[in-house]
Amino acid sequence: MSPDKLVYMANQIALFMESKPKAEGVAGLASHINDFWEPRMRRQFFGLIDSGAAGFRPLVLEAAAQIRRPAPV
């Protein structure tokens, strides 16, 4: 998946979760990614986060700590 598409998808989830109280939004975003993104997508997500990729909404960056990091391939 293109990095732009992955950032877009994470930000779309964040936009929805931003309508909730902060802690609930962070937990909801992390839960959604943990439940519905396959390990390959989460691996790419963390690759972008770790490299300092720009474009993620602040809620995505906060939720990253609660997202399961898949084992390397």
Helix 39-50 with 22-36: angle, nearest 10 deg = 130
* pLDDT confidence of residue 53: 81
Give the integer Cα–Cα distance in Å for 2 and 51: 15
What is the residue extent of each domain of the chain? 3-66
pLDDT tens figures, 14-52: 999 999 999 999 999 999 999 999 999 999 999 999 999
* Amino acid 73: pLDDT: 86
